[in-house]
Structure 1
């Protein structure tokens, strides 16, 4: 009987230890040691296993002040009692004009980090201005969680459960937002610095030469949409084979291709 009781006690202790030893990582942007105030990030950077992707505009210029940290700005208490002192500021949307969030991977102004499996992510955030602004957590293809906020309800906590395998998670927004703190419960991976082409997950390729656009390695029915720098759709068609076309315009354009594998957007210069 004593042996049975001892076994039950040890089993209970093992369960308690497992539950309380769940790995939790916190990036608190009020921590001046880890996150000193700066004028923004213009290159892809990983700090404390946390990725910062400023990205480029349609002309290939880096976005300035993408991650500006400002002491004393947007401070205040959240509903759970957390009090923020600084913000990590998104100076705009994470997506090119004309593209819907989540249905295409973020292309600018986003955060990313590697996970080793299922995790729970919490983000304390505020908007960057008037109107409803939505924060997203994705795995680059699927929506993991989202939450919208406006100036009347402006201190929110987005909680999302990721149930997938190892890979990167991405935090993005559809307009300017301010991130105060991020907490991840579960095992992280090692976050590697991303490049602009790291979302190239489908086989179809897009490139341009002079005023010609080439769509190659087409394996299945592929929807092609071309947008100008203002986000206006200038051409749209579907093809099941390699093709090329011309536009009676010059400048920078975004070619979005969508297949059963997924979709991606490629910037091209026509002259």
Structure 2
């Protein structure tokens, strides 16, 4: 695994450090994932393939084009539904797959991202926990452009296994990226600044400003700025993706960083 290290230095006194573990399974890597049928259960680089029914297959045809520049040369074809019949379990439902799905371990909070293509309209790829509870569902419209998706889900929970399954239809996965946020550590920031931030639901609140033109930057767990603004008054704003964030606030009165959780 590679380590992602992101640091912010506050007034030369303290540092906020994100130390996340990340993993990428790219089905275009023919060394790890040679083309052909996967007819028996196996684990490759921490990614488990659970078979059953028609085969999972690493295929080289019908490749998708993604708008982030990713150009795959292979894909993982599910070969059919992970459940009985043509089931598309809803988010929140508990439906344990019986065949043709992927599984990998998480140590806690994590961001899971995948590149996929649908096999037709109203077909879906799902993310579930080890109990079979559906956490996320990506549904494809079936048109030339709408059948391709880059989907991301922020998992907040304890250590366990994550399942990636296919609902109705013969859908394909091209790449999976997993970033583990459980090791994120936030150093103490020694400041007399009363400026504070807290979250409630999907909102972040900034309060007790002691100076005008306070710069507010909100960072995701992998160090990417997701919100940036200047304010002279108490304010609030929405972040619509669940996860852990760092709110960095800087003004003439000092600099402060606060960890918040969006639920």
TM-score interval for Structure 1 and Structure 2 normalised by the shorter chain: 0.5 to 0.7
Is 2:62 aligned against 1:70?
no
Q: Which aligned pairs between 1:1-271 and structure 2 lie closer than 5 A? A: 8-9=11-12, 11-12=14-15, 15=16, 18-19=17-18, 21-38=19-36, 40-55=37-52, 63-66=53-56, 68-71=57-60, 73-97=61-85, 101=89, 102-128=93-119, 130-139=120-129, 140-152=131-143, 153-174=146-167, 175-186=169-180
**Root mean square deviation, CA, Å:** 2.1
For 1:145 and 1:75, how far apart are their aligned partners in 2? 24
Structure with the larger strand share: 2
The superposition leaves residues 65-98 of structure 1 with CA deviations (integer Å, 9 ceiling, x where unpaired) of 22x1122x23243122222211000111100127
Q: Per-residue deviation at 1:165?
A: 0.4
The superposition leaves residues 196-242 of structure 1 with CA deviations (integer Å, 9 ceiling, x where unpaired) of xxxxxxxxxxxxxxxxxxxxxxxxxxxxxxxxxxxxxxxxxxxxxxx
For 1:89 and 1:136, how far apart are their aligned partners in 2? 15
For 1:103 and 1:147, how far apart are their aligned partners in 2? 16
Query: Quick check: 1:76–1:85 contact (8 Å CA) kept in 2?
Result: no
Q: 1:33 to 1:24 in 2, by over 3 A?
A: same
Query: Quick check: 1:145–1:158 contact (8 Å CA) kept in 2?
Result: no
For 1:84 and 1:25, how far apart are their aligned partners in 2? 17
Structure with the larger helix share: 1
Q: 1:10 to 1:69 in 2, by over 3 A?
A: farther
Q: Per-residue deviation at 1:32?
A: 1.1
Provide the TM-score with structure 1 as the length reference: 0.57
For 2:118 and 2:10, how far apart are their aligned partners in 1? 53
Tell me the SS of whatever aligns to 2:74: coil
For 2:22 and 2:133, how far apart are their aligned partners in 1? 23
Partner residue of 1:247? none
Q: Per-residue deviation at 1:163?
A: 0.6
For 1:115 and 1:36, how far apart are their aligned partners in 2? 25
Structure 2 gaps of 5+ residues are 1-8, 183-263
Q: 1:97 to 1:80 in 2, by over 3 A?
A: same
Q: 1:98 to 1:148 in 2, by over 3 A?
A: closer
